[in-house]
Amino acid sequence: MSVADNDIYDLNLQYLLVLQRTARSSVKEAELRFGVSEAHAMRIRDAGIRELQELAHATVTVMQPRPFFTDLLAETNHADARPGSILRSISGA
């Protein structure tokens, strides 16, 4: 495996583990925070570590940035930008 493949595997596995922890706490929260369907959140919630590791071996990232992330990057000079406000409200900052 190349360095990029290893990095993508690590990124994917960490993403899936956080998604799983969130879904185990609340499937609805996982849906909202990760932009996944209820069925996908439940599948990841119930998956074993081996299945998560297999999914993490994809050659591309298993996650996609949320649409407002793109807007956030485009509006970095605007402190009151809506995407930034959303992130602040989620994080409690």
Domain boundaries, the chain: 1-62, 64-93
Altogether, the residues listed in the chain come to a count of 93
pLDDT digits (tens, 9 = 90+) for 49-60: 999 999 999 888
Q: Which two tokens stand for residue 37?
A: 């369907």
pTM above 0.75, yes or no: no
Q: Class for domain 1-62, per CATH?
A: mainly alpha
pLDDT digits (tens, 9 = 90+) for 36-88: 999 999 999 999 999 999 999 988 888 877 666 666 666 655 555 555 555 55
Q: Report which DSSP code applies to 40.
A: H
Please give the backbone phi and psi of residue 60, each rounded to the nearest 5 degrees, phi first.
Answer: -130, 165
